[in-house]
Amino acid sequence: MDGMPVGIKDLFRTSDLPTGLGSPLYEDRTHYLDSAHVWALRRGGAVIVGKTTVPELGSGTPPPTRNPFDPERTAGASSSGSAAAVGAAMLPVATASQGRGSILRPASFCANVALKPTFGALHCGGLMWRSPSYGVLGVHAGGIEDCWITAHHIAATVGGDPGYPGLFGPPEMEDAVKPSRLVRLETAGWRNAQPLAKDRFETWLESLQSEGVEIVGRKDEPAVEKFEEALATIPDFRSALAAWEIKWPAVAIVEKEGNGVSADLAKRLGEADSIGLDDYRRALAALGGLRRDFARFEDYADGFVTLCAPTAPPYYPDTGDSVFGDVSSCLGAPAWSLPLLEDRALPMGVQLMGMPHRDYEMGRIGRWMLGRSRS
């Protein structure tokens, strides 16, 4: 990491740079301590170049950041600044975070490699706005090697979240590995995905099959169909889960600083007040059931593949749909965004997901996928 220029998502505290959260409420506000991963990066000799833009409080009015491939289009969601800086080759690495799809979708839109790690695998200390049951720190990079080296260095220095074993794997990515079997997932996002995105994905899967990779989907295996039905329930409980977990400080901020929060965001955050403890308990039970369903696929396949987003990057200020990112977030699973598809010269990423703690193994498969696309 020594000498590596890095950008830090502006939801993470930094001791020498303001942490503004994309809001006038926090403009120019600095903090005494660095976030855990920022401290780790500095200890390794990384050069913190600056903070990368985020929407208002991480989820409201989007920042002015645009897509590096078409300035009329979005760079994505709350990690859009990190994604755009890497996608434009301004930086080799930038940090990100994800509650729903804020690592994977911006990476897809900006042609980055990105790692959304296993839940708890990277220390989130210092993240100012987080859903604690599924939010994670992640990394955007121009290549899979830089992405892994950065993530590994953070974990080796400060570990994962307290109570979690951290990120597993060696310091550098070893040789690529060709998968034998992959499960293709449609998820709740498939019905709203653009036909062209679906066609590109299907064509890519066919190319894998032509090289001897077995692709198993819902039409091939009853267990996969049952799992797809379970994944389709995510929209039924995810919003209650998210609303309860940001009830504090979200509602408190709206009550205290109502004039400093945009009307649209204030309305959305205020809706958290309607979520009760019983609603949250039901959401947690649904989340736990989904993760148990996922655990049944241990050793069934080498990985799971789906889209990162239902479309190519839409026109700004639309930041796109997080629906495909909800899957790995709710499952607590590692997922890589790989720049393997495109639509009219606009990038689209493939999501390669694995069982928890197989971040590194998925990275080696991702390296094979990227290598074959360049040959």
Domain ranges of the chain: 5-221+292-374, 234-289
Q: How many residues does the chain have?
A: 375
Query: How far are the Cα atoms of 70, 178, 194, 243 from residue 363, in angstroms, in the given order?
Result: 28, 11, 27, 32
Return the residue matching tokens 């690592």. 103
Q: What is the pLDDT of residue 375?
A: 59
24 pLDDT higher than 90: no
Res. 128 pLDDT band, cuts 50 70 90: confident
Q: What is the pLDDT of residue 265?
A: 82
Lowest mean pLDDT among 198-212, 240-254, 275-289, 333-347: 240-254
Q: What is the pLDDT of residue 225?
A: 97
Q: What's at 226, amino acid-wise? A: K
Q: What is the pLDDT of residue 279?
A: 94
Query: How far are the Cα atoms of 50, 87, 141, 204, 326 from residue 90, in angstroms, in the given order?
Result: 12, 8, 11, 29, 29
Q: Across 130-134, 210-214, 266-270, 343-347, which has the greatest mean pLDDT?
A: 210-214
Distance CA 112, CA 142 (A): 6
Residue 65: other Cβ atoms inside 10 A: 24
Angle subtended by helix axes 277-295 and 234-245, to nearest 10: 130
Q: What is the pLDDT of residue 174?
A: 92
Q: What is the pLDDT of residue 130?
A: 80
Q: Give the whole-number percent of the chain exceeding pLDDT 70.
A: 99
Residue pair 96/106 in contact (Cβ under 8 Å)? The answer is: yes
266 pLDDT higher than 90: no
The DSSP output letter for 62 is: P
Residue-wise pLDDT for 269-302, tens only, equals 888 888 999 999 999 999 999 999 999 999 999 9
Q: What is the pLDDT of residue 96?
A: 96
The DSSP output letter for 117 is: P
Strand (E) or helix (H) holding 353: strand 346-353
Q: Give the whole-number percent of the chain exceeding pLDDT 90.
A: 81
Distance CA 219, CA 204 (A): 18
CATH number of 5-221+292-374: 3.90.1300.10
Q: Where would I find the H helices in the chain?
A: 36-43, 80-87, 104-110, 144-158, 195-210, 222-231, 234-245, 247-257, 263-270, 277-295, 325-331, 359-374
Res. 57 pLDDT band, cuts 50 70 90: confident
62 pLDDT higher than 70: yes
Residue-wise pLDDT for 228-259, tens only, equals 999 999 999 998 998 898 888 888 888 887 77
59 pLDDT higher than 90: no
Q: What's at 310, amino acid-wise? A: P
Query: Beta strands 214-216 and 181-184: pairing type?
Result: parallel
Res. 264 pLDDT band, cuts 50 70 90: confident
CA angle 319, 131, 103 (to 5 degrees): 40
Mean pLDDT, the chain, integer:
94
